[in-house]
Structure 1
Amino acid sequence: MSINIKTLTQALAKTAAVIEKTVQTTVQEVTGPKALQDYDLLDQIGTAGPGLAWKLYSAKARDGTRPHQYPTVCVWLLDKKVLSEARARAGLSKVAEDSFLDLIRTDAAKLVRLRHPGVVHVVQALDENKNAMAMVTEPLFASVANTLGNFENITMVPKDLKGMEMGLLEVKHGLLQIAETLDFLHNNAHLIHCAISPENVLITSRGAWKLGGFSFAISKDQAASDLANVPAFHYAEYDTEDSVIPLQPSLDYTAPELVRSKASSVGCSSDIFSFGCLAYHLMARKPLFDCHNNVKMYMNMLTYLSNEAFSSIPPELIHDLQRMLSANESIRPSALDFTGSPFFREDTRLRALRFLDHMLERDNRQKSEFLKALSDMWKDFDSRVLRYKVLPPLCAELRNLVMQPTILPMVLMIADSQDKSDFELVTLPALLPVLSTAVEETLLLLVKHAELIINKTNSESN
């Protein structure tokens, strides 16, 4: 019997491909999604996303031989088995679980496509096996929900989150950053987010506030032309706890036009209402609506919203916040309008943080003038603002040899108030290149502060 060599070769190639795929599948089932193969998890830092189902971990790449954009990253991990067990305990269907996982996939896919400084940056796209889902992003601190004391799904609460209260300046800066990101979404990406809430706003390890949670996002064109494709949310008329597998945005942060049984319109103003609810929660330290997904309670609270509800809100914000939270969509300001609020405009410390945000874009003369003013102002900043908002841009600017003699004293003054682990993580990496190249005035400054640097790095810190 003659053998057809071509047919045999094709059969062998096909068999090899099947074997390779089987091996890859087996390896993935044993080791988990790609993120868990490429990165070593360090500590859980928080949770995020719908129902805070994502566990967030600080992590480092296993391959230390090639350069990485970030020394540490954030691995997002969702355990499907835990989710399935929680779903079963709550008496929910497998269909609900599958729908929820589809929402997670939709969010992850949109995050990869959206490129903007105000959107969480994805380092490695979502990967999954039958047991887990995982993706990798830029390093994060936590979600805003975690900073407000919601520690759902956190195994051991990090010490930085325990009893944490953000100061007004940090909240202002964060809200301004989210407003600018919303302006980009609405006017450049032409998207309506539809789910602005504390669990979908992330704070990076450098203190920037960024948006995630795009599961329900729709295009403005889609919202304007085809209401059949606009998400229809159906909330119960009684108290429910659907936090195990939430298949729609939290009612506490959802605009009334998305809640009504017949949505008259869905537009950018829907995001502004949700953003107003977020701003209120951060300012008042409690949610404006706390209605357990009960639509009757929600509508009743909205109808009888009084001026008294705004008694704990800064006076310069009340007018704009009341407009944002109006049931009348036409009254709500745009995201860009909100950035011009006196709440932001009249704060000189906030202007200083905004300059630091864009410091690398300024020329040396502008930097020198600003730093002279900052040298008198920095003592008014609380420790979190100094650590997350002031120090990182100053450390980045140490690469500028002309500015080193001006910036170094400020970096060292702030470093004096840091604990050793914080110093080694944030400040020391920026100082090491300076230590090896310092001359003249910079060298004298380092010698003068040598004891500080030695004390912050001695081995007893571990």
Structure 2
Amino acid sequence: MLAVATSFFARTAISQSYIIGGPSQSSRPSTPGTASGSGASLNAPTPFTPSFPVGLWKVQSAQHKVTNKRVSIWTFDKRGADMERLGPAAKERTIEVLKSEVHFEQNLSLVADSRSLLQASALGRLRHPSILEMVEPLEETRNELIFATEPVLSSLDLSIPGSGRQASLVELDEVEIQKGILQICKGLSFLHSSAQLIHSNICPESVVINGAGDWKISGLGLTIPLLASNGAPTRWEFPTFDGRVPSYIQRSFDYMAPEYALDEQLLTASDMYSLGCLIYVVHSKGAPPFNTHGSLGGLRENAGKPLPGIGGMDSDLQGNYEQSEFMGSSEPLTGLLRSLITRHATARPTPATLPSHPFFSSLPISTLNFLDRSNFTSKTREEKISFMKGLAGVLGKFSSGLQTRKILPSLLEEMKDTHLLPYILPNVFSISTALSPAQFASMVLPSLKPLFTIKEPPQNMLTLLDNLTMLQNKTDKLVFREHVLPLVYNALESEHAMVQERALKAVPDLCDTIDYAEVQGVLFPRVAVNSNH
């Protein structure tokens, strides 16, 4: 009876509201964040992604029992092996810092004078597209901490190319890396300017990648406010690293700016030094520029030294992308690293100026920037049409995952403008060739269905009819009959002879794939009416 009662009181609202984990945990989707498999139901379920660690947290995919909303559940086991070896004071500090990732107190004076840094709910309070979004607030029981965020696929730490770390759902290429760095810049700009905070621990473990492939800042338990509650600058604290305490709840000396550790300065520019180290690590298979071994002396010894091992970075980068894409810069990556990983903070780029560096001037990055909602909406229709015409020639520079996660959703969003449809649809169908039937049915078909009845301009129907074979291959017979076949019927009734002719040419192939009753009772009578006219 006691065990039953203990189990009942240990349950959280989150655990009762969500299905956590699932039978699909062992499968790896071909494209992160999308459904896989050969099924083709219109609402094919997306498989749950495998669990993975982020520091001391275990992150699991979950689905709300009522709304079916997907989230990621973050849990920390207070009885786990990481806690068993700690003394009472270390256990308390560990839990306080973990809680501080999720709770953000309005009174920031607590942060300036408390080792516990109880400012957290940066997730709950700090709303920004580049900050990890909280969905369910932190709950605490005797045995665990638990909260929910937007769906995430991995941490950056687990996704670094060539690092040999745990298998990740995310396979990063250079375009994804550059896009992610720019997203972290936006997040840091928000933290520095709007929230008046120094993150103070930017590193691969504090960056997570969500279901859309976007990089999000997390690990906010060690943030430092620029000002105390009385308006005075926050007091500097001597940096320490305790090898007996989990490294996740401490600032890493490998990413710590020299002016913070050695000059007793609290500057937002210190985050840019850390970002430079992160960029270095992502391009060096997980190795930091300087290994301090958790020692302040190691940090002091390496401060200001030339960056090691960067000689071949640019040649490796240019092996994947044409030199012309970097707009004349012969050393885009090494120049970027040298500007960020510096002994002094004064010359470092800011989050606002870094995106203008030649490293980010590649054609794929310019394409993604144009498609960004904040930019695309401000463009004229002529500019949008010109862009869409040229997009087909650029798509090959993106991985299939990036096409599916970032470009395709942007295109589907813009299909509300019927005047752009003749230029958007070819790109949509080009990307769709790599989708499984289940992915196509859940991601693309719902956006196409309203178009099957739009008769003007006629180019829309012509493009759809030209891709009728793909529509057949990507949908099963029932879905095709219910959702796609009305396109043909509407085309047969079109006032434009070219559209009618294109629909009539498709009829013989349709007879081989749809039920005889449908052919005899619906399709042939419409063809007959068309022929009589």
Task: Indicate whether the TM-score tops 0.5.
Answer: yes
1:29 counterpart = 2:9: yes
Count the aligned residue pairs.
408
Q: CA deviation at 1:433?
A: 4.7
What are the residue-to-residue correspondences of 1:30-109 with 2, within 5 Å? 30=10, 32-42=11-21, 43-45=48-50, 47=52, 49=54, 52-64=55-67, 71-82=69-80, 85-88=81-84, 91-108=85-102, 109=121
CA distance in 2, matches of 1:438, 1:125: 48
Report the CA distance shift for 1:245/1:351 in structure 2 as closer, same or farther (over 3 A). Answer: closer
What is the CA-CA distance between 1:436 and the residue it aligns to?
A: 7.1
- CA 1:193–1:429: 2 relative to 1, 3 Å: farther
CA–CA distance in structure 1, aligned partners of residues 89 and 238 of structure 2: 18
CA contact (8 A) 1:81 1:131 kept: yes
Q: Cα offset for 1:196?
A: 0.6
Highest Rg: 1 or 2? Answer: 2
Go from structure 1 to structure 2 and tell me whether the alpha carbon gap of 1:80 and 1:426 turns closer, same or farther (over 3 Å shift): farther
**1:36 counterpart letter in structure 2:** S
1:224-373 aligned at under 5 Å gives the runs 225-228=232-235, 230-235=236-241, 240=243, 242=245, 244=246, 246-260=248-262, 263-286=263-286, 287-306=288-307, 308-313=309-314, 315-344=331-360, 346-358=361-373, 359-360=376-377, 362-373=379-390
- For residues 431 and 74 of structure 1, the distance between their equivalents in structure 2, rounded to whole angstroms, comes to 30
Per-residue CA distance 1:52-91 (angstroms, 9 max, x = gap): 2222222221113xxx8xx422222222222xx3222xx3
Tell me, yes or no, if the aligned pair for 2:154 and 2:208 is still in contact at 8 Å: yes
User: Which stretch has the larger CA shift, 393-402 or 137-146?
Assistant: 393-402
Tell me if structure 2 keeps the 8 A contact 1:256–1:327.
yes
Partner of 1:411: 428
Does 429-438 or 384-393 show the bigger shift? 429-438
Contact 2:139 2:147 in 1 (8 A): yes
Partner secondary structure for residue 284 of structure 1: coil
Please tell me whether the aligned partners of residues 234 and 259 of structure 1 are also in contact (alpha carbons under 8 angstroms): no
Return the letter of the residue paired with 1:34.
A
3-state DSSP of counterpart to 1:329: coil
CA contact (8 A) 2:75 2:144 kept: yes
The alpha carbon displacement at 1:420 in A equals: 4.1
Alpha-carbon offset, residue 458 of structure 1? 4.0
Q: 1:234 Cα shift? A: 0.6
Please tell me the residue identity of whatever aligns with 2:74. W
| Offset of residue 46 of structure 1 | 5.1
Aligned residue among 176, 184, 196 for 1:190: 196
Equivalent position SS for 1:182: helix
Find the aligned partners of 2:152 and 2:380 in 1 and give their Cα distance: 30
Between 296-305 and 264-273, report the one with greater CA deviation: 296-305
Is the Cα contact below 8 Å between 1:409 and 1:445 reproduced in 2? yes
TM-score, with normalisation over the residues of structure 2?
0.69
2:289–2:307 Cα contact (<8 Å) kept: no
Rounded Cα–Cα distance in structure 2 between residues aligned with 1:139 and 1:425: 17
SS of the residue 2:254 aligns to: helix
Contact 1:46 1:151 (C-alpha < 8 Å) held by counterparts:
no
- Structure ranking higher in helix proportion: 1
Give the Cα–Cα distance (whole angstroms) in 1 for the partners of residues 57 and 424 of structure 2: 39
Unmatched 5+ stretches in structure 2: 22-47, 103-120, 318-330, 478-533
CA contact (8 A) 2:391 2:427 kept: no
Compared CA separation, residues 197 and 446, structure 1 to 2 (3 A): same
Aligned equivalents of 2:261, 2:434: Cα separation in 1: 48
Tell me, yes or no, if structure 1 residue 139 matches structure 2 residue 161: no
Q: Normalising by structure 1, what TM-score? A: 0.79
User: How much has 1:422 moved relative to structure 2?
Assistant: 4.1
Contact (CA 8 Å) 2:51, 2:61: kept in 1 or not?
A: no
- CA RMSD in angstroms comes to 3.0
